[in-house]
A and B are shown apart, each in its own frame.
Chain A
Amino acid sequence: MSIEPKLIPILIVALITWGGIFLYLLRVDILTRKVQKELDQRLENKEPRA
């Protein structure tokens, strides 16, 4: 299957749009992992309840 040249601009735009949204969600995921890591560390350091 070959891509018609006239479709290339819309393909680029679609990739930029969805790629951009994906990258943003990836940023949120990275921040979430940081929070999770911090939480795990605190739980490890905490004394178990008697």
Chain B
Amino acid sequence: MPQAAGLNTSNIMYFHVPMAISMEVAFLMAAWHGVRYLQTRRMEHDAQSVAFAEVGLAFGIIATITGAIWAKLNWGAYWSWDPQQIGIVAVLLTYFALFALRGATEDDEKTRSAWAVYAIFGIVAAIFWTFIFRRLPQLATLHPPAVLIDSSPIFKVALWTNVAGFAMVMIKAALLRGRVQVAQEKLKENAYVD
């Protein structure tokens, strides 16, 4: 882990890495609920898929900001278009676009089916942009390659504990958001009944 002179910059990893990992897990869960929606056509899966994607996006934004602060201290600039930075911007833009597409359609059934496909496309894009893109032989990244695997045991224990903790916060936030989404959808469906 590179260290800037006189600064405990590796401590930033306790926040930045869990945010980034939680983002990936959230997008994976969004895709999984998308697949479950296509299988079952249950509105709850659509709601949960949207919720996980939304929380993933929020965590991704935090990961990007904290990563930029780390980059300023270690690389000398907040933003230098490193392949990893390009990758995270592409992921965030992809999900912003997917939410815009969802918001642009009126029909609920079609919207939900399309969203399920978007969520599956989203995780494929996220895996490419965050794990594969920076490893392309033509590109050289300054981003540390495997902090979660190659660090010292004490650092790894603390880091993995934080990853687990923030992932749990992410899951709970997404479950709450999903429940609200279900309640909203049910109110909308019954808007003209009674």
Contact = CB atoms under 8 A, between A and B. Distances in A.
Interface of A: 6-7, 9-10, 12-14, 16-17, 20-21, 24-25, 28, 31-32, 34-35, 38-39, 42, 46
Given A28-B180, A32-B180, A42-B194, A16 B73 contact: no
A13 B194 contact: no
Interface string B160-194: 00000000010001001100100110010000001
Interface string B102-137: 000000000000000000000000000000000000
Interface centre among A13, A17, A20 (most CB of B within 10 A): A13
A32 to B, nearest CB: 5
Contacts of B15: 13-14, 16-17
B62 to A, nearest CB: 4
Interface of B: 6-9, 11-12, 15-16, 19, 55, 58, 61-62, 65-66, 69-70, 73, 169, 173, 176-177, 180, 183-184, 187, 194
